[in-house]
């Protein structure tokens, strides 16, 4: 029989061990990025290639662009990899980022019921949105300050729709990520602005299909930024820079172009070197 003392010391030892064991050491950087890059599977394809080339592991925390930048502002990331040019430039001007480099673009698509009750189908994003608004057809918004949300708001503005006035039960502000918002749209048979990558890898489509695509306005530029070591001394500058250099290099750009779902290329490299 084990005594009480043995039992208690074993318990204490176990809990300390368990706490300590979960803190293994390895060489890694933390990248705050968006759900679109993570959930489309792009990082699953890219990172093993980079890790093999550099020996540096990459830990991706996938959030909306706004949250991803906030996380970096607090110093919890070494590199940000996001898609909202205006927000990224603000991030740099506040001194949190060293330099923004463009990496690639993908495009947004308007997803909606295949029957298209608002007759929004076509190539023109602004006309499409105007028709959705005038038909008061259900529309799901991310509403989470993500890059996609920011883009959506820009398009409404460009289409001269004043959301503050036009908002009604047809406009559903969900405050959720791309996937959950798509789930909501599928269950409500609503229109939604999505990035093509997430849409292509999304499985629970219901009766939804692509309604508007191909407008150059729908191109969605991704940038990559090293968090400023002057603001956060612990930033892994060398390894972070190594990652940035690789994604904009010929090898990295080719890897991006090679990533396809169902034969369809999702991201188009356009790095400024």
- Is residue 36 at the binding interface for other proteins, with CB under 8 A as the rule? no
Binding residues for other proteins restricted to 216-245, rule: CB under 8 A: 232, 234
State which of residues 6, 27, 44, 158 lies at the interface with other proteins (CB under 8 A). Answer: 44
- Is residue 2 at the binding interface for other proteins, with CB under 8 A as the rule? no
State which of residues 204, 219, 230, 251 lies at the interface with other proteins (CB under 8 A). Answer: 204
154 CB contacts (<8 Å, ≥6 apart)?
Answer: none
Say if strands 191-195 and 171-173 run parallel, antiparallel, or are unpaired.
unpaired
> Considering only 13-21, 107-115, 166-174, 240-248, which stretch makes contact with other proteins by CB under 8 A?
13-21
State which of residues 97, 128, 177, 269 lies at the interface with other proteins (CB under 8 A). Answer: 177
Nearest partner of 244 among 6, 85, 50, 8, judged by Cα: 50
State the minimum distance, in angstroms, from the CB of residue 61 to other proteins: 4
- Is residue 190 at the binding interface for other proteins, with CB under 8 A as the rule? no
Is 69 buried (19+), middle (13-18) or exposed (0-12) by CB count in 10 A?
A: buried
- Is residue 182 at the binding interface for other proteins, with CB under 8 A as the rule? yes
Binding residues for other proteins restricted to 85-124, rule: CB under 8 A: none
Return the number of other C-beta atoms located less than 10 Å from residue 175's C-beta.
Answer: 13
Binding residues for other proteins restricted to 157-176, rule: CB under 8 A: 176
Residue 63 or 150 having the CB closest to other proteins: 63
Alpha carbon distance 232, 208 (integer Å)? 44
Using CA atoms, how far residue 161 sits from 73, 156, 169, 223, in Å, is 33, 5, 16, 28
State which of residues 39, 65, 146, 148 lies at the interface with other proteins (CB under 8 A). Answer: 39
Task: Compute the C-alpha angle 89/95/96, nearest 5°.
Answer: 80
CA atoms within 13 A on the CB side of 167: 9
Strands (E), 35-155: 57-63, 79-82, 97-113, 139-141
> Considering only 8-16, 101-109, 120-128, 162-170, which stretch makes contact with other proteins by CB under 8 A?
8-16
Residue 146 or 215 having the CB closest to other proteins: 146
The DSSP bridge partners found for residue 61 are: 32
**Interface positions with other proteins (CB under 8 A):** 4, 7, 11-12, 14-15, 18-19, 21-23, 30, 35, 39, 43-44, 59-62, 73-76, 176-180, 182-183, 186, 198, 201-205, 232, 234
């Amino acid at each position: 029989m084990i005594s009480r003392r043995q039992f208690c010391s074993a318990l204490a030892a176990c809990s300390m061990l368990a706490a300590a064991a979960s803190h293994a050491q390895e060489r890694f950087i933390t990248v705050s990025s968006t759900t679109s890059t993570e959930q489309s599977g792009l990082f699953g394809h890219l990172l093993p290639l980079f890790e093999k080339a550099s020996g540096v592991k990459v830990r991706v925390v996938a959030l909306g662009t706004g949250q991803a930048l906030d996380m970096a502002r607090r110093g919890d990331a070494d590199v940000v990899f996001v898609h909202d040019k205006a927000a990224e430039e603000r991030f740099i001007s506040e001194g949190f980022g060293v330099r923004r480099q463009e990496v690639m673009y993908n495009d947004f698509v308007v997803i909606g019921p295949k029957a298209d009750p608002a007759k929004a189908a076509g190539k023109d994003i602004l006309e499409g949105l105007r028709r959705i608004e005038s038909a008061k057809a259900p529309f799901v918004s991310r509403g989470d300050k993500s890059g996609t949300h920011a883009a959506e708001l820009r398009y409404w503005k460009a289409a001269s729709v004043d959301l503050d006035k036009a908002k009604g039960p047809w406009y559903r502000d969900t405050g959720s990520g791309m996937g959950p918002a798509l789930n909501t749209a599928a269950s409500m048979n609503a229109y939604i602005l999505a990035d093509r990558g997430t849409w292509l890898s999304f499985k629970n489509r219901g009766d939804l299909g692509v309604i508007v695509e191909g407008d150059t306005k729908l191109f969605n530029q991704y940038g990559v930024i090293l968090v400023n070591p002057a603001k956060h001394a612990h930033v892994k500058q060398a390894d972070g820079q190594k990652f940035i250099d690789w994604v904009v290099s010929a090898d990295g750009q080719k890897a991006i172009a090679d990533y396809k779902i169902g034969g369809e290329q999702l991201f188009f490299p356009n790095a400024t070197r």
